[in-house]
Structure 1
Amino acid sequence: MKNVLICASILGSIVTFAQEKDSIKSNNIEEVVVNGRYYKRYVEKQGSSSLRLDEALIKIPQNISIITNKALEDQQVTTLSDGVLRNVAGAQRLEHWGDMYTRVNMRGARAAAFMNGVNVTSSWGPLSEDMSYVDHIEFIKGPSGFLMSNGEPSGIYNIVTKKPTGNALNGTARVTLGSFNMYRGEADIDTKITDKVAFRLNLMAQNKNSFRDYEFNDRYIINPSIKVNLSDKTTLTAEYIYQKAKMSEVGSAYVYSFEGYGTKPREYTITDPNLDPTRVTNNTVNLNLQHKFNDSWKLTSQLSYVNEYTMGSDIWPSMFEGNYMLRGLNYWEASNEMKFGQIFLNGYVKTGSISHKILAGLDLGSKKYMADWSQSYGLDKFNETNDIKLAPDFNYWYNLATNNYDSNGRYPYSGPNNTAGYKPFDKSRPLSERAGAGGTIEQNYTGLYLQDELGFLDDALRLTLAARYTTVKENSYGSKSEANKVTPRIGVSYSINENMSAYALYDQAFVPQSVILRSGEYVKPITGNNIEIGVKKDWFGGKWNTTLSAYNITKNNSTVSDPTNSPSDPYSILLGKTRVQGIEFDLKGEITKGFNAIFNYAFTENKITESNDPANNPVGKRIPGYAKHTANGWLNYTFTNGILEGVGLSFGGTYMGDRSSWNWGSATSSLNMNDYVKFDAGLSWENTKFRVNFNVFNLFDRYLYSGSSIGFLQSDGKTYKTGYYTQADAPRNFRISIGYKF
């Protein structure tokens, strides 16, 4: 709370300073006053330079969706896991680990996480992105040969950070209060130091508890950036993001049951007070140099460095005796270091009547995650008199009836009761030595790509021809792999008129696999083939637009865990071929004066089409990790004149039907999750200086959750029993924010 008060004091000083500057005018990029009315920007017509495609989105032969900062502000989104995905057709969150990091799935697989055009995806990250330093988010569906060196053919999301604009002093200050003791302060200062030097500073401090006892998530961010015009043609941009997070132990959001999904009250938790939290420190540095040779040719080079240190704690069930659970508490120390180098060239030439948009580049990347997992012990122990574990009883109502536990079904205690053998981390030995092969994930890659977009008929017809050569070396927990592959890309886009285009795309991707067969052989990389067609249209001068696309992705060499494995065996088997196909529709923008809308729908189907293990994985079996039907909507109406001028009304909803889980356990089950239906509403008021937002989430207080089946180890240490885990969403809750623009 102290830090939030400090931040609020800073914001107050900023407001006072801005009020004293009579000559300073409001210059908010995301919202302007046009002819006496407020015009909100839910639509972007062109991607960032980090997308590498120097072209309007309507001309690109691929489904690309951009979420603007204004949409995020209206929805009061604070992190990537906090409602961002409602703005993109078919995207959903899986295994969010209580907001430590966000796993985004779309088109049947995990979407790679990018920041400013570099792939920061890791097995345990990145730290869930906070919106305080985000300008907008770009979602690129399907394989993206112009960005990815390797990754799932589902697509990527690219976080584009706020950077100096070069304008005179302007910015925002905002304080947000909310349910569960949420206190958040933000400041965004954007100014011009000289005609050649611009500076921007983003600050954020947050304290937030949970609807579950003993859970919390505190976070602090400092994000300075500077832009220097070295000459009329050369620009250098440097930015630094410092993040400090402290949160309750990982795993505290999970609830377990043998009966099914959602059988415990939403506020049920297996955690307790006095457990050490998880602490994460993230340092990110990015340097970007752009040089324009002339109006037709531009060279961009970029260096990025990410260093994330974690002193973590997590709590999981270790074994069961009937319905009784024995919890395990683990501590780990981890380092996640990533280094990236990029250089790419954009150019334009004409050969006769044919135009050529050239993209050529080189990507270099190095990622290394090391973790010391050695500190773990049983949080609970057997009761020596009756052999009953003093632990949270899995049968909540039985515990409550016998009065042995508190109102959440936990055994009351003041700290871990079985710490025998626990020792602090041996810091005299380097982490690399303590982690060893069993605690290290390492990847090094190189990507070289060339793309030519040929324009015919005065650029009305565009043919994209591209190829990427990628080499990857991986070492995942001692399993090594090395692969290289050329992936082609062919696209056609035709402008029916200046506001409408149709496109078709064929693209490939590949994913190296650090898994091993029982024979000792290593597995070839997953290869993915994507075919996509679509139609894009701008309506009423581009105030709103729509995209309709259909796709078919096949994947070869997919693997699953060997069903004959003992609990300690690492072996996999070749699954065969899988296919994900679907249809996606996106609509966003200003429909009529003052009325802005976001609507999307996606149909997704992901199944096995050829199987090497028909007994356990027959043809037609669903691949986990998606909802067959997803639909989202967000409506905002702002009165633009009269006594209610500046008043805004918002209403939104999310639907996910026929959901499949992400089943990472050894057990399988046919039990389906309920459909997910959530509604939110908001009320706002704004003028050229102030903005007040009040939003209510989960308006009808529905019990919402995600989850999966899992195999629970029994007390004999050998057998598993099928159970379920659930992560519940928050009940009805609210946020109110007050912002000042200067």
Structure 2
Amino acid sequence: MQIKRIVLSSFLCAAVLSATAQGNSSNFTASVLARKAVTSTNDAQQYGSVRGRITTSDGSIAPYVSVALKGTAFGAMTNEDGEYQIKRVPEGEYTLVVSAVGLFPKEKQVRITSKSTVVVDFSLNENSSELDMVQIDGHKKKFKVDKVSPSLRLQSPLLEVPQNIRVVTSAVLSDQQVFDIVDGVTRNVSGTVRTGHWDAQYANISTRGTSIPAFRNGMNLKTPWGPLADDAATIDRIEFIKGPSGFMMANGEPGGIYNVVTKKPTGENRSFLTLAAGGFGLGRAAIDLDGKLSKDGKLLYRFNVAAQAKNSYNKYNYTDKYVIAPVISYEIDSNTKFTLEYTTQHVEALALGTYGFSPKGYADTDPSLFIGDPALDPAKLYDHNVTLYLNHRLNDTWKLNGQVAYLNYGLEGGTPWPSTIAPNGDMIRYLNISEELAINRNAQFSIMGDLKTGNVIHRLMGGLDMGLLKTWGDFGNAINPGSADIRLSPDINNGIFNIYDPRYGIPVANIPVFDRSRSIRHRSGSNTYATELAYTGAYLQDEARFLDERLRLTGAVRFTHAVTVGKTNKAQVSDNVFSPRIGLSYSITDNFSAYTLYDQSFLPVAGQTHEGDPFKPIRGNNIEFGIKKDFFDGKWNVTSAVYKIVKKNQLTSDPRIGPDNPQIQPNASVQLGEQEFKGFELDINGEVLNGLNVILNYAYTDARTTKDLNPNAATNQKGAYAPNSVRHITNGWLSYRLRKPGAILDGFGLTGGYQLLLDRFAGRGARKPNLPDFIRFDAGATYEKGKLAVSVLVNNLLDRRLITQGSYTPVAKETPTSVSYYTYIYDMPRNARLSLTYRFK
């Protein structure tokens, strides 16, 4: 109860902060009143708008540039893509002025006519004398962005999009000393959590109570276990799209997707080197090189390399990895550009499993417990991702984009696992082969632009996407020559490993041997892990903009043809599905909008039941309502939403699995009848006061099974909560940076945050919270001086035993040597990180 009071207090404080900020903004309020007065005076007039894109003389984009109509209160600032738009301008003739520190200003005469949009682009020359003294200050929106990346193909600002989309920028990742996507990223997004699995090699992220797939640059690269968790060295931003997104983003879960946008060349020298060290033997080096390969700025490059080594809180375990990511882009002419990108990751880990086990309860054993052994070979993982992009501007309003991607992911290793656990902690271990190969091919083509009919502007988007995913896997038992006993056992105590008194050092003769004499493709051909899924989808969306673009009605439809290749005619499935989408968004004021959305999702499922029946596709529909409000010229934003998702045919473990049914494979699945997810979300992020950037969020999620086709009352899931769902989630992160040129503490900052996960549900059939609350606090400090920046951060300040995942394995008939047990994964114990960054310019 005390923790829940803290949660409520946090958001009361946020509300007070919002009110206080508004109360202390007399200049801002006066500006708004003045603008309203202008609007009132000109009520009888007709309005138009002006928009465009600002670049520098070498073709580079110009973000954070001021654009204004001379002698009026109308103006805007370019976003990260150099784009601007000024709305509701009374018709007439104006002088458009563009200016920024380090660039020579320019002026153009424009004539605004009734209910029309004038497109005015600028190319600005650099002012080298100013550049030597002042650098353009882009830190003001480091926690907030106004538009999504081009990979999502949404042309409207986030404030106008009828959907809840949260963007985590690279500046946020740096501020939180995040080194990969599983490293606390979900704290920045309401209702979003990561379920621990396999030593954090995979993201395994859920939002709104459902698991969501991994996208890279707008393409679905999810494989059964991968792709590998994206390294921060390659990440420009991470976009979390709440609710179904299949109408244009290919097939996906109704809860949403997350889209990792990788770093691309900017044409500016933003190169830097980072060295980091920390607890549990962490050592890391990363370099980001960004520049031009030709003097005219048409041929650009970006090159990221990172290497990292770290031990684990598990005894003997470790993870070493390296990442290489070169990118080149070439501008054929002012309208056409192609980009070629390659990313590869290589990981070596002594054991994938960092699980704890106990017959007594969650978090019973010490985090150092390791059920593997230093005598075992490490697991090795990799992925290779190649993507080619082509972007062409047909004219001022229409764009054509195409991209193709290839992902090759692989795993080779072994996984120790308990066979039995006794009440006193005696465990019999066995070793599974763990090997997988996945090849994912994708292609996307889209066209978008504006078309005007009468007084209505139609923001049109259409496209085609195709994908082919093939996977092979082998997770069977190892072979121990000369013996049917495949147990892992130190040659002591009759082969018993005790979780409360672990002893290590398995003799070589006792280590099982994996049979890899045949390729993974051959071995997988006889099991359920060999799958093939192909799809082709076409979509069309029209965002009709009425009433001087204040009212926006979105209608979209997607057709998907999906084929799941089975080993029998019965298991071969072909689906043809139409998925509609309807959205409505209205701008109550220029910085305050409300929206509603109805959307559907479709996700074909590979594999089959124990009886050989193919799985039906997962279907979902979502209806939500939300409001969005920008404060102080867009420096910070509040977004709130309520939603209800109905999901059909969700996979779950076959309830017959167990010692009483040895013929049922341990990985066998069945499909539930229907699940319902409903909740409330609140997100606050941006610069609320000068130098103070804030992320605050809260989500209430109710995720339950409402129908179950299973006739067995003992295992029927109706009324049970979705596994790993959390009823209450709230996160906060504050970052304050002192900006006083000439002062001793100029560049000094403090950072810190909290994560609270309350009322958590683990495993199948949970009808009340059964996982411990997750309560974590972090704090740190930073200092920037010239080209150098130093940051220190302490995570999990209270050194609590935090659980990121939990499950319960029942034993049908308990014996003195075999009882039911709990499985769980710890979050990192208290640890510190120190980073040193040098920027080359």
TM-score by length of 2: 0.78
Q: Does 1:326 align with 2:428?
A: yes
1:246 counterpart residue number: 348
- Structure 2 SS opposite 1:411: coil
1:456 to 546, 553, 572: 546
Q: Does 1:110 align with 2:203?
A: no
Alpha-carbon distance in 1 for matches of 2:363, 2:567: 34
8 Å contact kept, 2:420–2:818: no
2:293 to 175, 193, 197: 193
- Partner AA of 1:617 in structure 2: N
Alpha-carbon distance in 1 for matches of 2:128, 2:233: 23
Q: Does 1:60 align with 2:149?
A: no
8 Å contact kept, 1:332–1:375: no
Alpha-carbon distance in 2 for matches of 1:645, 1:26: 21
1:493 counterpart residue number: 585
Q: Does 1:636 align with 2:735?
A: yes
> Would the alpha carbon gap of residues 559 and 372 (structure 1) be closer, same or farther in structure 2, given more than 3 Å must change?
closer
Q: Does 1:94 align with 2:189?
A: no
> Would the alpha carbon gap of residues 662 and 474 (structure 1) be closer, same or farther in structure 2, given more than 3 Å must change?
farther
- Partner AA of 1:703 in structure 2: R
8 Å contact kept, 2:490–2:505: no
1:300 counterpart residue number: 401
Q: Deviations over 1:236-286 (max 9, x none)?
A: 0111112111112111x1011110101111222212212111111221111
> Would the alpha carbon gap of residues 40 and 561 (structure 1) be closer, same or farther in structure 2, given more than 3 Å must change?
closer
1:623 counterpart residue number: 722
- In the TM superposition, residue 331 of structure 1 has moved relative to its aligned partner by 2.8
Alpha-carbon distance in 2 for matches of 1:452, 1:462: 10
Q: Deviations over 1:584-627 (max 9, x none)?
A: 11111101111111111000001122333472335422121211
2:273 counterpart residue number: 173
1:701 to 776, 799, 803: 799
> Would the alpha carbon gap of residues 649 and 33 (structure 1) be closer, same or farther in structure 2, given more than 3 Å must change?
farther
1:163 counterpart residue number: 264
8 Å contact kept, 1:375–1:425: no
1:76 to 174, 177, 180: 177
> Would the alpha carbon gap of residues 95 and 481 (structure 1) be closer, same or farther in structure 2, given more than 3 Å must change?
farther
Q: Does 1:731 align with 2:841?
A: no
- In the TM superposition, residue 709 of structure 1 has moved relative to its aligned partner by 2.9
Bigger Cα displacement from structure 2, 151-160 vs 435-444: 435-444
Bigger Cα displacement from structure 2, 99-108 vs 676-685: 99-108
2:502 to 407, 410, 416: 410
1:569 to 664, 669, 690: 664
1:687 counterpart residue number: 785
- Partner AA of 2:525 in structure 1: G
2:33 counterpart residue number: none
Alpha-carbon distance in 2 for matches of 1:342, 1:675: 42
> Would the alpha carbon gap of residues 415 and 138 (structure 1) be closer, same or farther in structure 2, given more than 3 Å must change?
farther
1:586 counterpart residue number: 683
2:67 counterpart residue number: none
8 Å contact kept, 1:288–1:303: yes
- Structure 1 SS opposite 2:253: coil
8 Å contact kept, 2:228–2:382: no
> Would the alpha carbon gap of residues 173 and 721 (structure 1) be closer, same or farther in structure 2, given more than 3 Å must change?
same
- Structure 2 SS opposite 1:551: strand
1:433 counterpart residue number: 522
By relative contact order (CA 8 Å, sep 6+), the higher-ranking structure is: 1
2:495 counterpart residue number: 390
Q: Deviations over 1:146-195 (max 9, x none)?
A: 4433221010000000000122x331111001111111001111001222
> Would the alpha carbon gap of residues 504 and 191 (structure 1) be closer, same or farther in structure 2, given more than 3 Å must change?
same
Alpha-carbon distance in 1 for matches of 2:185, 2:128: 33
The correspondence of residues 205-224 of structure 1 with structure 2, limited to 5 A, is 205-224=307-326
Bigger Cα displacement from structure 2, 98-107 vs 517-526: 517-526
Q: Deviations over 1:14-47 (max 9, x none)?
A: xxxxxxxxx99999xxx9664xx96451111001
Matched length: 692
8 Å contact kept, 1:218–1:247: yes
Alpha-carbon distance in 1 for matches of 2:292, 2:325: 17
- Partner AA of 2:524 in structure 1: A
8 Å contact kept, 2:391–2:401: yes
Q: Does 1:596 align with 2:693?
A: yes
Alpha-carbon distance in 1 for matches of 2:561, 2:838: 49
8 Å contact kept, 1:707–1:724: no
The correspondence of residues 262-273 of structure 1 with structure 2, limited to 5 A, is 262-273=363-374
Q: Does 1:225 align with 2:316?
A: no
Alpha-carbon distance in 2 for matches of 1:236, 1:150: 26
Alpha-carbon distance in 2 for matches of 1:99, 1:173: 25
- In the TM superposition, residue 437 of structure 1 has moved relative to its aligned partner by 4.0
Question: Any stretches of 5+ residues in structure 1 without a counterpart?
Answer: 1-22, 397-408
1:132 to 230, 233, 248: 233
1:357 to 453, 459, 476: 459
1:676 counterpart residue number: 774
- Partner AA of 1:298 in structure 2: K
- Partner AA of 2:390 in structure 1: L
Bigger Cα displacement from structure 2, 122-131 vs 370-379: 370-379
8 Å contact kept, 1:545–1:587: yes
> Would the alpha carbon gap of residues 379 and 268 (structure 1) be closer, same or farther in structure 2, given more than 3 Å must change?
farther
Alpha-carbon distance in 2 for matches of 1:721, 1:580: 34
Alpha-carbon distance in 1 for matches of 2:720, 2:813: 32
8 Å contact kept, 1:77–1:83: yes
Alpha-carbon distance in 2 for matches of 1:375, 1:520: 22
Q: Deviations over 1:313-366 (max 9, x none)?
A: 211112345542111122333321111111001111100011111111011101
Alpha-carbon distance in 1 for matches of 2:604, 2:266: 40
Q: Does 1:370 align with 2:468?
A: no
Alpha-carbon distance in 2 for matches of 1:354, 1:410: 72
Alpha-carbon distance in 1 for matches of 2:442, 2:604: 19
2:383 counterpart residue number: 282
Alpha-carbon distance in 2 for matches of 1:359, 1:245: 39
> Would the alpha carbon gap of residues 170 and 671 (structure 1) be closer, same or farther in structure 2, given more than 3 Å must change?
closer
Q: Which has the larger radius of gyration?
A: 2
Alpha-carbon distance in 1 for matches of 2:270, 2:678: 46
- Structure 2 SS opposite 1:262: coil
The correspondence of residues 336-347 of structure 1 with structure 2, limited to 5 A, is 336-347=438-449
Alpha-carbon distance in 1 for matches of 2:129, 2:710: 67
Alpha-carbon distance in 2 for matches of 1:78, 1:384: 40
- Structure 2 SS opposite 1:376: coil
Bigger Cα displacement from structure 2, 616-625 vs 481-490: 616-625
8 Å contact kept, 1:446–1:472: yes
Q: Deviations over 1:19-77 (max 9, x none)?
A: xxxx99999xxx9664xx96451111001110011221111100000001111000000
Q: Deviations over 1:523-554 (max 9, x none)?
A: 43222110011001111001111110110001
8 Å contact kept, 2:348–2:379: yes
TM-score by length of 1: 0.88
- In the TM superposition, residue 522 of structure 1 has moved relative to its aligned partner by 3.8
Instruction: Say what the alpha-carbon RMSD is for the aligned residues.
Output: 2.8
